[in-house]
Structure 1
Amino acid sequence: MIPRSITISPADQAAKTGILLGVETTCLDLQKDEVIELGMVKFDYVADGRIVGVRDVFASFNEPSIPIPAEVTSLTGISDEMVAGHRIEAAAVESFVQDSVIVIAHNAAFDRKFAERFWAVFEHKAWGCSATEVEWRHHGFAGAQLGYLLNGAGFFHHAHRAVDDCHALVEILSVELPSAGAPALAALLEQARKKTVRIVGRTVAVRSDVLKRRGYRWSDGSDGRPRSWYIDVSEADVDVEIAFLKSEIYLREITPRLQTLTAFTRFSART
């Protein structure tokens, strides 16, 4: 797959600017692991979700304070020699993303947390997730993994580098979804604009097998959030979910903590 050339959107199009972002890290622990590569593609899109131009590309290595684990080098191809002496300048990152209205990652629950930890500019941006905020299986794809999506769209892609994945997402989000009659980006933006509600249950692991099957996740408290089971649902499904907890889990009246999430707070380590 050949990346799109950088183009400027025609002046007569009321285009907005988005960022596709990916990070590679030394491992998965937000508290101690470090970013070794940041890749971003800046693109313009119009109201119907069509991507009308790629404006710029950002790709930079960062030398971590520890050697890159062998399994990370094997997966990404990024070695200690490649990152030696490199630093990702915060001012350059801020300048690149400041005019964007949304940042999209293919695993925003992971990428946003690392991006916010190292570059404060991302704390105040709206975020979307191209893996979870498009119902890919409903639209005929085998799954939400980037490889499945590219194969389903007829593209060949074998890279596992941050900026290469961003270029791949440009094409994936440009794919017309027949059942929606619009590009995949339009479906993502529609979902990202909606509010969701996080239902936080009790700290005890009551019937954890049932909760897991229903989509609940466990927070162990290590990231500052309360130790609890929680799930994110649409506003319309809140009453149904509370009724489930009352009748199937706690067997009594309960008042779970409810937290409203938007694109500005969703996927953040602060929520």
Structure 2
Amino acid sequence: MANQLDMFASIQVAAGAEAAKERAIRKSSRTAQEEMAKSLEATGNYKILRRLLPRPIVTEPRPEFTRVGVIVDTETTGLNHRNDEIIEFGAVAFTFDDSGRIGDVTDVYGGLQEPRTPIPADITRLTGITDEMVAGQQIDIAALRRIVEPADLIIAHNAGFDRPFCEAFSPLFVNKAWACSVKEIDWSLRGFEGTRLGYLIGQAGYFHDGHRAVDDCFALLEVLDHQQGEDDRPFAELHRAAQRSRVRLFAEHSPFDMKDHLKARGYRWSDGTDGRPRSWWIELDEDVLDDERHFLRTEIYRWDDADPPVQHLTALERFRA
């Protein structure tokens, strides 16, 4: 019996040593690869993209990061939240502080959902999600509640798309503050050439497997925490934007022949079916509201007492359908 125990212990020691050796080899290989990448970058003739690896989930987040953010991403059967459905949901929860510094990843969820109708072929080509993959699958509401309920801020890369789908899917998302990493960060000022997540990831020096929900959430987290020069990180800018109030100004009953002037200034048309006034409208920072009212009164209505409707928006209301 003693010999068997000794033999078992020897096997365990040998296995542990072999595993340690393999880890050391992998670490040495990564170090060598990184040195080669840095050598190529130093010539100025190459730009190296590194595979984006998901951040680890921590069980004891650092106490100085007291707020909770949740990045969400949805894959859907189409573009209309009233008729189309979510087929995949991804969420990554992380901590941050009042200055907009990102702390630790605290939770992750990814799940598929079988829709009522077959997935369109173009959606499968885009996302790689097939009818066979979602057959019998259902998003875990309890897991989503665990992640979403503590959130101080929900972030989506195009919240105007994701928020309506999320709110149609579950009331969990209705009374939450939302932020949009497309519209509320000035990426061009930061030197980025576009706002698509793939462009941002590439220009930040990474590549990833896109169009799967959790992968895209981790990719966005990395971009939001990307340091470039002396500027603060993109998430700090997004956090500040989420705290500001904005307004929607409606050029209700504006003359028909003024429509091209309004469109050229950035106004969009609302047909009234979503509860807004049937009119041209624009969304602005609150501090330029008086200037825009003056424009409407002098250039569009051409009478001083015109009083176009105004809707005040905080992060609780922004990006709703």
Q: Smaller-chain TM-score range?
A: over 0.9
Whether the 8 Å CA contact 1:39–1:58 is kept in 2: the answer is yes
TM-score, scaled to structure 2: 0.79
- C-alpha distance 160-198 of structure 1, shift in aligned 2 (>3 A): same
Could you tell me which runs of 5 or more consecutive residues in structure 1 were left unpaired when the two chains were aligned: none
How far is 1:200 from its partner? 1.2
| 1:35 aligned residue | 86
TM-score, scaled to structure 1: 0.93
| 2:273 aligned residue | 222
Question: Of 255, 263, 269, which aligns to 2:315?
Answer: 263
| 1:84 aligned residue | 135
Q: What amino acid is the match of 2:124?
A: T
Query: What is the RMSD computed on CA atoms of the aligned residues?
Result: 1.7
- C-alpha distance 185-69 of structure 1, shift in aligned 2 (>3 A): same
SS at match of 1:170: helix
Alignment of 1:150-229 (within 5 A): 150-178=201-229, 180=231, 182-202=232-252, 205-229=256-280
| 2:66 aligned residue | 15
> Partners of 2:190 and 2:180 in 1: how far apart?
16
How far is 1:145 from its partner? 1.5
Whether the 8 Å CA contact 1:193–1:263 is kept in 2: the answer is yes
> Partners of 2:162 and 2:209 in 1: how far apart?
20
How far is 1:9 from its partner? 5.0
Residue 113 (str. 1) matches residue 168 (str. 2): no
- C-alpha distance 30-221 of structure 1, shift in aligned 2 (>3 A): farther
Could you tell me which runs of 5 or more consecutive residues in structure 2 were left unpaired when the two chains were aligned: 1-51
| 2:292 aligned residue | 241
- C-alpha distance 10-60 of structure 1, shift in aligned 2 (>3 A): closer
CA shift digits 1:176-209 (9 cap, x unpaired): 24353x2111110001100001101125654333
How far is 1:175 from its partner? 1.0
| 1:63 aligned residue | 114
> Partners of 2:204 and 2:233 in 1: how far apart?
12
> Partners of 1:51 and 1:11 in 2: how far apart?
11
Identical aligned pairs, as a percentage?
46
- Which structure 1 residue ranges, 4+ long, deviate > 6 Å from structure 2? none
CA shift digits 1:21-62 (9 cap, x unpaired): 011111111211111111100111123322221111111111
> Partners of 1:226 and 1:90 in 2: how far apart?
35
- C-alpha distance 12-157 of structure 1, shift in aligned 2 (>3 A): closer
SS at match of 2:224: helix
SS at match of 2:174: helix
> Partners of 2:186 and 2:251 in 1: how far apart?
26
Larger fraction in helix: 2
SS at match of 2:248: strand
> Partners of 1:14 and 1:77 in 2: how far apart?
36
> Partners of 1:84 and 1:251 in 2: how far apart?
60
> Partners of 2:203 and 2:229 in 1: how far apart?
13
Q: Which has the larger radius of gyration?
A: 2
Bigger relative contact order, structure 1 or 2 (CA pairs below 8 A, ≥6 apart): 1
